[in-house]
């Protein structure tokens, strides 16, 4: 078969293939973010969560039995739509038998997207942190994938801190 015949055959089959491929609905992109919407997304995914709007930034707390909580600190929500969330865990000195060495934190940071740090200005607390931007829109599935990945990292971080 020559090239012209192959091209004609391919073009003639394209409408038939398109007709047999089921159309999928586009995934809705969320462009307006409120604390209540984020709480509904988090709770809808099965997380035990509550919203606190008393501070400078609304914050969602995800309770984890036997582990430190996960916090979603929502930023710039007074503008009509939150712009980002800082997702983090916080370990006070009381949460840890032995504080981590800086080398433990550096090793963690070299292997993970989430970033850990020791806050020497806050009674040597240890934090695990990641930022999710809402600007430009996002899908619920993408955010939940991010949150689930953070939770897995937080679980691993907890084991690393307590297993030293």
What residue ranges do the domains of the chain occupy?
27-162
Topology adopted by domain 27-162: Yope Regulator; Chain: A, (3.30.1460)
Neighbouring-strand partners of residue 75: 84
Pair 84, 133: CB distance under 8 Å: yes
Distance CA 117, CA 126 (A): 6
Q: What are phi and psi of 15, to 5 degrees?
A: -65, -35
What is the per-residue pLDDT for 7?
A: 46
* 3 state SS of 2: coil
pLDDT in tens, 44-102: 999 999 999 998 999 999 999 989 999 999 999 988 899 999 999 999 988 888 889 99
Cite the DSSP H helix spans in the chain: 3-20, 35-44, 102-111, 140-162
- CA neighbor of 132 nearest in space, from 70, 52, 69, 74: 74
pTM, to two decimals: 0.81
Residue with tokens 């604390």: 35
């Amino acid at each position: 078969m020559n090239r012209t015949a192959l091209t004609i055959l391919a073009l003639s089959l394209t409408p038939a293939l398109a007709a047999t491929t089921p159309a999928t609905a586009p995934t809705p992109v969320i462009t307006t973010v409120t604390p209540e919407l984020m709480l509904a997304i988090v709770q809808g995914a099965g997380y035990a969560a509550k919203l606190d709007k008393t501070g400078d930034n609304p914050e969602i707390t995800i309770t984890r039995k036997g582990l430190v909580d996960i916090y979603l600190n929502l930023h710039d929500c007074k503008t009509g739509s939150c712009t980002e969330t800082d997702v983090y865990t916080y370990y006070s000195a009381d949460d840890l038998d032995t504080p981590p060495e800086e080398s433990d934190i550096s090793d963690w940071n070299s292997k993970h997207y989430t970033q850990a740090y020791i806050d020497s200005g806050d009674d040597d607390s240890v934090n695990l942190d990641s930022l999710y931007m809402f600007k430009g829109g996002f899908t619920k599935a993408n955010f939940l994938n991010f949150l689930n990945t953070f939770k897995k990292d937080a679980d691993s971080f907890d084991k690393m801190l307590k297993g030293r």
